[in-house]
Structures are given as C-alpha cells and as structure tokens.
Amino acid sequence: VGHAALPLIAAFDATGMLISSLQRSPMGIDRDRGCGALLFLLGVWAWLRTWQRLQANPGTEAAQGVPTPAQRALLGTLAALGSMDLFGPDGLGLHPCPPFGALRSHHWIFGMLQAVALECQLRLLLVLRNGEVLLRLLGATRTMGLAIALFLGGLTAS
C-alpha cells in the first residue's frame, strides 16, 4: 500500500525542481540565485521520466526503465550545458561564454541528488509491483505467501 505513494512523491519532487527553477535566474550570473535553466531542464526530465515510466505498458522497455529518445535528448542537453560550465570561466577557463551556474550554486547538486532519488523510487516501484518480493520484504516465507495469496484470492472471489 505504501509503494502506491512513490509516484506521487516523484511527481512532487519534479514539481519542486520546476518551481525552484522559475524562482532563479536562468544563467549563473548571480551566485545565490543562478542555475535556473539547468534546474528547469532537470525538472522537465524528472516529470517526463516519471510520466513515461508510469504510463508504459507492463513488460515494455520503458516500464523496465530504459530511457526513451526524449529522455535521452534532455539528459544530453543537460550534460552539454553542464560541460560548458566545466570548461567555461568558472571551471577550466577554455571559453569565455557566460556560465549556467552549475559550478556556482549548490542547488544544482541537490537537483542531481533528487534525480538519483527519482531513479531509486521508480526502481523500487518496479520491484514492489511483484507481489512475491513484497511478501518477502514483510518477512513471509514462500508457503506463507502462497497461503496469503490463496486467502486473498478467495476473498475477491466471494
């Protein structure tokens, strides 16, 4: 029953990233209020990942966690913009383009940790969909699990 809230928590975290990004400046000019563009893209990726993962038919690659082309494109854009910051004036200084704020703001690191937490939540949701795994987590043996499954099957039939 508790695992039914995992998609809701994932959507809440993604929405939090989107709202946080809209309250920041898009570029990393301001040290405390920067990286809005990167957080916005990360929030869009988190929403897209959650939505596509939950809407996928069971047994498909998307339901198993394989990224779709849209998710890969967003992740590639995030990596490209982050590497621009790494090679820009705040990092190695190889180009003079203005930074996006990935190296100036600690909020970007928290956003990345939220993305990792999203993946963990979605993976846990996938594992908990299997009833046998859930019964094992509750400490039920195989025989006990079969007995509970038969009992619940009898309740739903009557």
pLDDT by 10s per residue, the chain, length 158? 456 677 888 888 888 888 888 888 777 666 666 677 888 888 898 898 888 888 888 788 887 778 888 888 988 888 888 788 778 777 777 878 777 776 666 666 777 788 888 888 887 777 776 666 666 666 656 666 667 777 777 766 65
**Per-residue 3-state assignment (H helix, E strand, C coil) for 58-86:** CCCHHHHCCCCHHHHHHHHHHHHHHHHHH
